[in-house]
Structure 1
């Protein structure tokens, strides 16, 4: 007896035959899916044809007929279906599917949009209509060559994103191999890219005098935020996004949640007397609710990175960057003989050695209390002298 649409709708848990090896499987939880039992390579095997909610009874029968024919011709129906899917899946289709599945995991929508925008601008014109199973190293290299020297950082990002899409396609069964990135690197080898410029850092010996100039300018939120950034060796985004709920003045601790950190790991920063003093001044500009920004900008929104950059330049910091103060701190710590591990933990850098990272759990919080206290004493030494 053939199944009817009503029977499939009301089917109870178990296996329900439609004939010629086609079955509707209903799990104890009630989910329903199609299975075709046929003989392939001399033995009977079950092949999934999809969920009932996606494949109707009529579509399941049509698909079962096609797969039975493939099996009679000596083909593996599942493998053949994947090959057909591969030939029909273009690079653009795969990239957009990959993007839609992962866009919710990016820290912010801007980063996610940049991810797909770079592919739209540089990869889709050449690769977009090609099936993912036919894209080789030379195809990728031809995309990268026009921007390899003129837009070096963009080219590196495009290369990485193309590789991610092709690796994803391999995992989905749409291509036989992973991205041929070693071959791509071989094709690009010898074509020099300009060196990536590091963030220009103020020499650490000049930081105390700079902090003194900030003091002389008054306690604006931009100045307070920059001083707090310097004394905590934090990233700009971490400071600009800080809220009062992250600050524990009694424990003298600033706890930055994982979703605001570059490496997706919670980071704790010991607060010194100098940083607590800055927070006291910042309180005058806030309602002090847990979700209120510590250093709010216009309309209670986050300060922009440009605002901190403007404060830096207007106080004699031309030619340097806000991010560079992390390097200033790192140089000072090295010159003063502090442990490399303590300094790296203060900067929230990850342990690059995988084996070491697997066993190291400590964040050296107690040791960093003294480290940050001495850094604050150093940074404010000119101001203290003047007082």
Structure 2
């Protein structure tokens, strides 16, 4: 048979294609494919689908697959039944994605909900599909509405879909030859334009305005204001400060564990007298349960995620807490003689490549202490007289100390 003869065959009857494959036309004109074979000494017939759903080439491929089972001593009808039963246990993408998100180790509940939302709200077309039925065209249909509108989010969505499907494969829900349909390299990269990443900087205060800002901040009472002061004086990130506990401070050094650092490396922060005073000013009254350096509204809770931002809004300053790290870097690069390596280390950024870092075992703590002392003198220059006056904190053109 060929495609033309299949299309022309309308009369009721059974039409052999060879090797057990038949085109069957019933009295009502319905046409289907059938595979006839012998198993256990008995004649059996296995349906392969209608002509409308399965073309001649696909019918022959199904027949050949069934014949391979026969050669191996298996009943192809029973094999198909078992495969169908196994398929019934394959989870839908939405349910499985939720399960994967529940098991992830993430920074916060907020981050977990972001994962969950990107895998549900943004992908309605995937929710009810079994994970082993998802093909490239499904992923493309799900991503295209977001790809140019919200490129950064769409790229995150793609990566998360890839991770869920990889997990489904590892769990045994996807079998046989398979390539992840959400993979970017040499796959979706050939079908979608490369997303344009828009660099968005956190609004930062010009360092020239910082001394006046610190005067206004000192006038504000409350734990949140002291936490913000500590954050500025240490050039730390919000989460590093919010979950800081008293045991992390020993003398004038704050040791932040790797689990709370963006780079997942432990980080030591030299503390100036001013930073230690901010901690002391935030201490609760006697008898109050203390779990964190800067306590939240309820006993034992950390400071809320938006508490320091709320201080900035009340002060009517259009910057972010994170933006003060940029203020620090601009000041250090523009007005001091400290090297970029020391400045980047103070910001807990990785400096150099892996080889260079392997040879640089130390963390330049004492050099960074002098930098943070100079930073405190500058930031609080309208609050108190200079405390440190380090000679190496002068501009780059100054002669070296000594």
Query: TM-score normalised by the shorter chain: which range applies?
Result: 0.5 to 0.7
Per the alignment, residue 213 of structure 1 pairs with: 216
Distance 1:83 1:373 in 2: 70
Per the alignment, residue 344 of structure 1 pairs with: 344
TM-score of the superposed pair, with normalisation by structure 1: 0.68
Distance 1:99 1:191, change over 3 A: closer
Asked if 2 retains the 8 angstrom alpha-carbon contact of 1:137 and 1:181, the reply is no
Higher RCO structure, 1 or 2 (CA under 8 Å, sep 6+) = 1
Q: Deviations over 1:3-46 (max 9, x none)?
A: xxxxxxxxxxxxxxxxxxxxxxxxxxxxxxxxxxxxxxxxxxxx
Per the alignment, residue 193 of structure 2 pairs with: 189
**Structure 1 unmatched ranges of 5 or more:** 1-67, 76-80
Distance 2:351 2:168 in 1: 31
The correspondence of residues 145-160 of structure 1 with structure 2, limited to 5 A, is 145-160=144-159
Asked if 2 retains the 8 angstrom alpha-carbon contact of 1:136 and 1:180, the reply is no
Of 244, 247, 254, the match for 1:245: 247
Of 176, 179, 182, the match for 1:177: 179
What root-mean-square deviation, in Å, do the aligned CA atoms of Structure 1 and Structure 2 show?
3.5
Q: Secondary structure at the match of 2:283?
A: helix
Distance 1:346 1:86 in 2: 54
Q: Secondary structure at the match of 2:254?
A: strand
Asked if 1 retains the 8 angstrom alpha-carbon contact of 2:151 and 2:196, the reply is no
Aligned residue pairs: how many? Answer: 306
Per the alignment, residue 280 of structure 1 pairs with: 280
Structure (1/2) with the larger helix percentage: 1
Asked if 2 retains the 8 angstrom alpha-carbon contact of 1:208 and 1:379, the reply is yes
Distance 1:82 1:352, change over 3 A: farther
Per the alignment, residue 128 of structure 2 pairs with: 129
Distance 1:358 1:142 in 2: 45
Asked if 2 retains the 8 angstrom alpha-carbon contact of 1:286 and 1:293, the reply is no
Distance 1:259 1:219 in 2: 31
The correspondence of residues 303-314 of structure 1 with structure 2, limited to 5 A, is 303-314=303-314
Asked if 2 retains the 8 angstrom alpha-carbon contact of 1:283 and 1:294, the reply is yes
Distance 1:247 1:222 in 2: 19
Q: Does 1:326 align with 2:317?
A: no
Distance 1:181 1:135, change over 3 A: farther
Q: Secondary structure at the match of 1:381?
A: coil
Q: Deviations over 1:97-140 (max 9, x none)?
A: 5335x33x2233332233223212122x2123334445344422
Per the alignment, residue 257 of structure 2 pairs with: 257
Distance 1:354 1:73 in 2: 55
Q: Does 1:235 align with 2:237?
A: yes
Q: Secondary structure at the match of 2:382?
A: helix
Q: Secondary structure at the match of 1:255?
A: strand
Report the Cα offset of residue 238 of structure 1: 1.9
| Range with bigger deviation, 127-136 or 252-261 | 127-136
**Structure 2 unmatched ranges of 5 or more:** 1-68, 77-81, 388-402
Q: Secondary structure at the match of 1:265?
A: coil
Distance 1:351 1:71 in 2: 60
Report the Cα offset of residue 158 of structure 1: 1.2
